[in-house]
Amino acid sequence: MFTRAAQAILALTIITGCSTTSIPPAYADSGKYAAIVVDANTGETLFSANADAGRYPASLTKMMTLYMLFEAMHAGRVNKNTPIPVSRYAASRPPTKIGVKAGQTIPAEVAILALITRSANDAATAIGEYLGGSEQRFAQMMTAKARRLGMRNTTFRNADGLPNSSQRSTARDMAILGIALREHFPREFAYFSTQSFDYKGRTIRGHNRLLGRIQGVDGIKTGYTRDSGYNLVSSVKLDGRKLVAVVMGGKSGAARDAHMASLISKYLPRASRRGGDALIAARETTPLAITPVDLPVAHEAPVPIARADMEEGFGQGDTDEMVTALAAPAPRPAAAVAAASIAPIPRAVPHGVDPVTTSSARTGGDRGGWAVQIGSLPSSDQAQAMLAKAAAEAGSVLEAATARTETFQKNSTMFYRARFVGFETKTAAWNACAVLKKKNFGCYAVAQ
């Protein structure tokens, strides 16, 4: 977990060397536009405009929903075949959705693909209810996680990004989340490059029109509501360079995509081909408390109506949230009712994950040695098996390290950390993590 100095995570690095650029003329009179381009190797900001101004995230919200699901998968609470129950409320969410009926289940991997390609609101809500017990609780968990990641100006109210006047974020915070997804979950991040998948005899095609059209683009997420404008977070990896770029408040899908393409073209050549020590792990010695968030009373939350038309041209397909207005408040199950409609799942810690995470904030030295952690698992045998597999695949980078499991307990549940210890410097630990990530292991560098 984080120290207070480390809570800023990527934000501290992103601010350093920030290049603030004037708003493009086309958006000079817009109260929605914001953008940022970050070198994901070093954390340096290459471009920013209104990067810290409050904006509506729309379906970019689903990036955090997926972050929480990926954490649950790494903690052993969920696997890709886990059936996620769909409540009446989740099934009733407005389009776009995958169309699962109340009382049915959806495999976790299908839910992931549905969020990434279709931006399915029913699947997102089902995930939130499954992991949090209710959508309200899950929104609290999402907001608390945002704080841990350094997203200082983000508040979540739901799992799907449908309109809520209190659900706000910034371009900088979305860049932090995009980088965190790439760095923390290198294996799962590959899902974001999915352009289509087959489900129950039909092909579900994605909304991200830059995939396959702009060289190096490998995700991440689109979003749109009337209040937000057209949003997009893009990840780019090419010739050793990595960018995460955010455009919020685009005037159309085509205009947003064209602006993103121009930012990538201009700033990718300026990105570093090598990483510094910006993305280094840090931890906190105090337990995480769920961030208190004043959420709306369940029956007061209106359900939006969806628009049938879509943008023609390059940006076509941002129909995940074509919301034009809020209908009269529709009945919504209270949290207790929603929780009763889904199967309970075991929890280890408030967010179902080990309280260790990565940070771009410097930790102030090598303080007594470093370890690298590749997982937190529910049994010692699973932890040992993961360590053995990592040692076999990583080669010489782990020769001087010692495999070790450590236990920690949360809410009467025991978990086992899988770690390699004995690294003398943070650089050595980071280098080992870089190799492990290439082998599709999640990896955190941890000061001992």
Do 170 and 243 lie in a common domain?
yes
Q: What is the DSSP string of 111-150?
A: HHHIIIII--HHHHHHHHHHHHSSHHHHHHHHHHHHHHTT
Do 406 and 335 lie in a common domain?
no
145 catalytically annotated: no
Average pLDDT over residues 209-213: 90
**Measured CA distances, 82 to 69, 150, 198, 375, 393 (Å):** 11, 30, 18, 19, 27
**pLDDT at residue 34 in the model:** 96
CATH of the domain at 405: 3.30.70.1070
Name the domain count of the chain. 2
Catalytic residue from among 32, 48, 62, 437: 62
Which pLDDT tens digit goes with each residue over 242-296? 999 999 999 999 999 999 999 999 999 999 986 543 443 332 333 333 333 333 3
Greater pLDDT, 296 or 212: 212
Do 420 and 335 lie in a common domain?
no
| Residue 326 burial (CB count, 10 A) | 16
Share of the chain above pLDDT 90, in %: 49
Catalytic residue from among 32, 48, 59, 359: 59
Greater pLDDT, 347 or 50: 50
Average pLDDT over residues 58-85: 95
Query: Has residue 103 got a pLDDT over 70?
Result: yes
Q: Measured on CA atoms in the order 206, 67, 248, 240, is the torsion positive or negative?
A: negative
Share of the chain above pLDDT 70, in %: 73
Task: Band the pLDDT of 447: cuts 50, 70, 90.
Answer: confident
Residue 49 pairs in a beta bridge with 35
234 catalytically annotated: no
Residues 185, 103 contacting (CB under 8 angstroms): no
Q: How far apart are CA 145 and CA 160, in angstroms?
A: 16
Residues 138, 68 contacting (CB under 8 angstroms): yes
Domain assignment of residue 379, given as a range:
365-447
**And the tokens for 90?**
């989740």
Q: Measured on CA atoms in the order 278, 280, 286, 291, is the torsion positive or negative?
A: positive
**Measured CA distances, 256 to 32, 228, 231, 270, 406 (Å):** 12, 12, 7, 22, 47
Average pLDDT of the chain, as a whole number: 77
**pLDDT at residue 422 in the model:** 86
341 catalytically annotated: no
Evaluate whether residue 224 is within a structural domain: yes
Do 260 and 398 lie in a common domain?
no
Evaluate whether residue 233 is within a structural domain: yes
Task: Band the pLDDT of 341: cuts 50, 70, 90.
Answer: very low
**pLDDT at residue 22 in the model:** 62
Evaluate whether residue 295 is within a structural domain: no
Catalytic residue from among 32, 87, 97, 119: 119
The DSSP secondary-structure symbol of 23 reads P
Highest mean pLDDT, choosing among 143-147, 390-394, 408-412, 413-417? 143-147
Q: How far apart are CA 41 and CA 21, in angstroms?
A: 21
Task: Band the pLDDT of 391: cuts 50, 70, 90.
Answer: confident
Tell me which residue has tokens 């980088």.
179
CA nearest neighbour of 70 among 148, 157, 145: 145
Evaluate whether residue 401 is within a structural domain: yes
Query: Has residue 336 got a pLDDT over 50?
Result: no
Do 393 and 431 lie in a common domain?
yes
Task: Band the pLDDT of 197: cuts 50, 70, 90.
Answer: very high
- 28-42, 193-207, 248-262, 333-347: range with lowest mean pLDDT: 333-347
Evaluate whether residue 65 is within a structural domain: yes
Do 335 and 400 lie in a common domain?
no
Phi-psi region of 94 (alpha: psi -120 to 50; beta: other; left: phi over 0): beta
145 annotated binding-site participant: no
Do 408 and 336 lie in a common domain?
no
Do 247 and 370 lie in a common domain?
no
Greater pLDDT, 96 or 304: 96
Q: How far apart are CA 291 and CA 362, in angstroms?
A: 24
**And the tokens for 87?**
């409540």
Task: Band the pLDDT of 19: cuts 50, 70, 90.
Answer: low
**pLDDT at residue 263 in the model:** 95
Evaluate whether residue 349 is within a structural domain: no
Greater pLDDT, 282 or 109: 109
Greater pLDDT, 12 or 359: 12
Do 146 and 32 lie in a common domain?
yes
**pLDDT at residue 318 in the model:** 47
Average pLDDT over residues 90-112: 94
Do 335 and 389 lie in a common domain?
no
Evaluate whether residue 425 is within a structural domain: yes
Last residue of some domain: 340, 374, 393?
Answer: 340
- Write down the pTM of the prediction: 0.65
Evaluate whether residue 315 is within a structural domain: no
CATH of the domain at 75: 3.40.710.10
Average pLDDT over residues 23-40: 86
